[in-house]
Every structure is written in C-alpha cells, then in structure tokens.
Structure 1
Amino acid sequence: MNYYSERENINILLNEQLENLLSEELDSVIKREQESFDKLAEPFEKSIVLFGSGQLGRKTLAGLRKLGIEPLAFADNNPELWHKSIDNLLVLSPKEAADRFGDKAVFVVTIWRACSTHRLAQTREQLQGLNCLKVVSCAFLFWKYPETFLPHYCLDLPHKVFSETENIKKAFYILSDERSQYEYLAQLRWRILLDFDNLPSPIPQEQYFRQDIFTLSSDDVFVDCGSYDGDTIKKFLEYQNLFTGKIIALEPDQINFTKLEEYVHSLTSNIKERITLLPLAVGKQEERLRFAATGTASSVIKATGTIEVDCVTLDQLLSECIPTFIKMDIEGAELDAILGAKTLIEKHSPILAICVYHCQNHLWQIPLLIQSLSNQYRFFLSPHGEECWDLIFYAVPVSRLKILS
C-alpha cells in the first residue's frame, strides 16, 4: 500500500468514527446520561465513598449534602490526612476504606484536575486491587445531578453535544493533521461517553510553544492573556537568545498580578523594559465585570465574583501595536476575547494558542470562530495535560508554519 492510499484509508476510518459518535438517537443519549451512574454503582447508588478529598472532593461532598446524601467517608492517598475530618467527613486510608466499605459502597473518584499526572485507570486499578467492587468517576455522578454539579469545565451533559453536530463536523474537517483529528475524536468521545481510557497522554512539546509546527521569533510581539504569575512568559523567554520584541501581559487577579510584577522585577533591565503589565481582563467589549479572584490559576470572570475589574478588547488595547502571537488561558472567556480581537485577527493573523477545555463546546466553537475571521491559518489541537486538561488549539499562519501537514 502506498502512502496516499494509506492516508486515504486513515481518513475514511476517522470519518467513520466521527459519524458513529454522532449517530446516537437523542432520546438514547438523555436516557444514558440519567442512568449511567446508577447502572455503574448498582446496588450502592446512595452508599458512597469519595476517593480524593481535595477541591473536587469537597465540591462533590457539598453537592451531595444539598441533595440529602451523606457520603460514608473520604478516602485519600495522603497519609497526613488519615483519621482527620475535612468538612466534617472522616478521611480514611485507601486500605481502611476498602476494608470497611469495599463490598458495600461505590467508590466515587473525585480526582480530576489540571497540572496532575493522575489518570482514572490508576485509581480504578488501585481500588480494585483492594477488592472494591464498584469504582466510578464522579463525572457520571455529575451527569445524574446536573443542576447541582454542571457545567464543570468541559464536563457537561452529552445531549448538548448533539445540538451542534454540524458545527462539530465542520471543526473536525478544518484540522490540519491526523494527530489533531485523533485528539479531536478522543475529546469528543469523552464528552459523549466519558471514555477516560482512550484519551491520549500529553504531547512532549511545551504548552503554547509547539515549535514542531511553528518557530518563535526574537522580535515577536507576544500577548499573554491570563498571565497568572508569569509562568508562560518565563517559558517564552527560555526560547529567546536575544529578545528584541515586546510582551504585553494581562492579569486581572490582583494577588496574581503582584506575583507577576515580582517575577518581572527579577528580570534583567533590557528584558523588563520590553514587558508591559496590565491588571485587566479581556473580552468582547470594554466594560466593568464581576470577578472571582482566588490568587490561583483558576480566577475567573463570574457574576457572583466579589470584586470588579476593567475589561478591554484586544482591538482597542493594541490599536497601535500589532501582535504576532496571542495566548489565551482565561477560564472560559476565550470566545468573547477572540471576538474582541476580531480586527487584529482579520488583518494580521497572529499565531494563536487558545485553551479549549474550559467549556464543553469550545472544542468546536473556537476553531470555527477563528476560521471565520481569517483564511491564513492552519489548525492543530494538542493535549498538554492528562484527561482533557490543558487542551490547546493552535492557529498558525502559513507564513509561520515550520512543517506543512
């Protein structure tokens, strides 16, 4: 079989997978999202041990209590927590929890977070090795009680996917290489079926800076939306021998902004003078917004936020400065921020590295929006974290492509 025949066969296979994923009847999808947890947990639907007592575990505990369900215990791998209480729920070691409840409760795994090497399969194997009969991801529990738990980042009800099938297909077909299409299908399968096991592991390239597909330039004008404490700027500068460009960093969380200032202050003067720090959010219009400032990477624009911040559009902010590279990690506000950069993208087609894991439909909505603004791009999708986290969509202008796929 020659190369072109093999590529054609792969394309046919990928197309078939896409069509099969989207072929389920809507009534069947709704029934599945309502019943999956009970089927997987049966007969222990209301007898629950939460495995993982971190932020997600505490969120799950609070939600269950609102529903009138009191879990039996937390189980956690951290020995410093054993026999202590978190939110008035006892934390047990995995072995003790398994000995006490392995044959009379479902172990709901509440470990799913960014910047983690954890995979569901690891915990499932651990607990099954301790003779736990039922081990289920909390995602299925969230499906059962969506009013309490959803949306949670890209986790949402699967029937919502099926209202956007045409756009899902369009976004799939604009991806520029098979690797991106495989990733897209795995992400779509997870959104529909919660198939954790077939999600690819992170790629080896640095997040936001996939130099296998594009080359950075020493005179880049890099716009960092959601700068946090300067972690992305630090990585960017590591690729520069003699940086002569500009960096514009936007971070609305004051705690993070202070950390960002401290980091930039530590740099050499010839680099510092090329960096502009702005305590601003970015969006589709200039306005004041409520903001939930946490001093972490998860600070977010939110109607119930405790502070107000100024929001600008990139079109306004950069009217006299042409960006060559824009990165966005802004906790779900990416679509609005792209709309606010409409003119810049249409006229200048900067490299774009955009997070698409904060909302279920950003997987297809963000690629299609960018495509509608410029025909100068090639598109790539890459996982830089485990189990859907740090999923980045790259739009690379043809003039900056390192390889053509």
Structure 2
Amino acid sequence: MLQVQFIRQNKELVLERLALKHFKEPGLVEEVIALDDQRRKLTLEYDETQAKVNAASKEIGKLMASGDKAAAEARKEDVARFKQALGPIDESLRSTEKLLQDTLVKLPNLPGQNVPAGKTPEENVEVRGGGSKPSLYEGAVPHWDLAKQYDLIDFELGNKITGSGFPVYKNRGARLQRALISYFLDYNTANGYTEVLPPYMVNEASAYGTGQLPDKEGQMYHVTEDNFYLIPTAEVPVTNIYRDEILKESALPVKMTAYTPCFRREAGSYGKDVRGLNRLHQFEKVELVQLVRPDQSYAVLEEMVSHVEALIKSLGLPYRILNLCGGDMSFTSAQTYDFEVYSAAQDKWLEVSSVSNFESYQTNRMKIRYKDEAGKNQLLHSLNGSSLALPRIMACLLENNQTKEGILLPEVLHRYFGSDRISNG
C-alpha cells in the first residue's frame, strides 16, 4: 500500500508512474488527497474540542475551590456539550479513515525506475539468457505423452478424484517431484536462506497483507465457513511471519525459503496452453522471501535473480530472463524479472519463476519495520521469487532430455532421484 504522505508530496510523480503501469483509475489519487484533507480537518476539530473539554474540566475544579458554584455548574454544562459534540466528530473521523484506507488499497504499487514502458508481454525486455535449445530425435513427444509412456503422472485420475488441473504424480514421477523439492531447498539453504514450513491456509489479514486481497480475491480458493484462503504461493504465509513486528537492524536481511503446494483457481484458463502441466489448480513450488533495508533492496533483487539463474543453469535448461514492462507487472510489484525455460517438444517458452521487489508496498500493509541507528522505526522492503515452480520445470526436464533410451536427468538430481535416468527397462 502506498503511503499517503508520499502521495501528497509527489502527486505528479505518482500519476506518471501509475501511467507507466497503465492504471485505469488515476482519479483515485485526488480522492486519496481529498479524503486525507477531510481526515486532517476532522482530527483537528476533534483535538480542539477535546482540548476544550480538558480546559473546562480543570476550570471547574478551580471554581469549586473558590466557592463559585454557579460558575462551576455553568462550566459543567459546557463540558457536557463539548463531550456530546465529540461523538459525531469521532464517528465522521472513523468513517473517513476507513474510506481513505479502502481507497488507498485500490492503488497499485508504483513501477521502479528500471521498469520499461509497455503494456503487453510482447513488450517485456529480454535481459539475458543461457543454455542451448536441444535437438530432439524424430518422434519426440510432449511431456503429457511422456508422463503416460513412463507412468509418471495420471491426469485422468486427478480429474476423477478432484477435477481438471489436479494431477496425480505416480511412481518415478512422484520421486522426481520429491527430488526436485529437496534439491531446491538444499540449494537455497546452502545460500543462506532459512527453511520454514508454513500453513497452507491463511486468514484474511494475511491475504490482505501481501496484496492478494482485495486484488486477487477471485483467484483464490476460499474456505467460507472459517474465512480462510488456500495459499496461491508461499509468499503469503512466509512474509506474514513478521507482520506487526519491529526487527533489529542487526537481524537484517531476513532470508527465508519454503516449499508448499499452491492453489489457484485460474478462472478463465482454457485451451491448448493449459494442457498437461502447463497450468494447474494445484502445484508445488519452492519460494524465496527476503526482508531488507530500503537502500539495499534493488541490489538484493539482482542478487536473487542471479541465485535463481544459477539454479536453472544447474538443471541444464535453456532459459531467458525478462524485465517486465509496466503494463505486464502485478498489482503489488515495483519491479519483476520473469524466468522462462524453453520447452523443446512444445516449441515454446514457459514461465518458471518471477522474482520481484515490492519495496514498502507489502510491509506498509503489514507494518513490518526495523529500528534504524537513530532508534527510529522504518518500513522494510520485501522481495520474493520462485526457486522454483515445479510443474513447468518438470515438463521441460522430461521433454528436453528425452532420448530413445529413456529420459536423462541432470547430474545434480542423480543422488536425490537415485538414478541418472527414467527408462522403461
């Protein structure tokens, strides 16, 4: 959530950056300022009236002590009148503060200075890439056929148990999934991240804190009886670990990694792009979260991008890194890099990770702060990234490494999987 004071002091900048994000309701900026003006006016009126109550109350004591009971009674009537006036002022103030808050959360985060202009995915800027696209043998097939051929994943069984988008991993498919999760977590913890295992459901306050509410409410599964939400990513529970906390500067940066299943309704998704593992309602992901000092967040963003890049390189997959343009960024992000891996049998690039800096947008909602050298409380910056999302990584590993003798696995997975290949022999 943007800070009101920043909006007031930088209105033109805010409008300029919102335009880069192609935000459709720039008039909300003026609404925020007008509501804040009203809030300030009511606060002043309340404080002045309360001061009158306090002054009159003190005067009553002096009048009683001097024996002027008539004057004291008159001042008591003044106090009663002032107190009666406080009620409506307080009610208007609370109503205005709520409306201000409800309007503020409708404003997205502002794009950072390094975000390119553009509105569509085609206008994202490729930063760099690596690896070589494999040349598959004649007769190579996409991963959904490989999953059936080697009895790795049963999409029909998942449909029977739950519905489409809920696959059942079997035998070596389940083992490969577990191998990837273990490797990703070990890789992250070896690089200084603390592993946590959070709940898979969160309350409304947690979903609000990271910005899923009210922006992405329709994309989450909602347990209505308890008002819980199934998590769309580990980012939500992990970042909320520090909600309403004030950290010591010596504890920074906070670096966390977590494996969780993720649940997304993906409303409106259909067609060939959702076949197999391309788009699921339940999938597994290993996530990174960092909380850092504001002056370090963009250096940390690049550090996290390099971290994920090295992980993808270790899997031997061809990849590219995209700096998302303003119009293709999420509601809450200040800057996002997407990682895409090339799927050989489908001849297409698949997104497998997003690494984002949210600056103080989330931490302002969650009141995650640290005490600086001067002893003043300051908002931290939050960042997160996928390291990695499993379905499309598995799809690309299966497709890109298929041979007539079986599916060869990258060396880093051999000890986790227990073999160097998947074969029918």
Higher relative contact order, structure no. (Cα contacts within 8 Å, ≥ 6 residues apart):
2
Q: Greater helix percent: which structure?
A: 2
TM bin (shorter chain): under 0.3
TM-score normalised by the chain length of structure 2: 0.25
TM-score normalised by the chain length of structure 1: 0.26
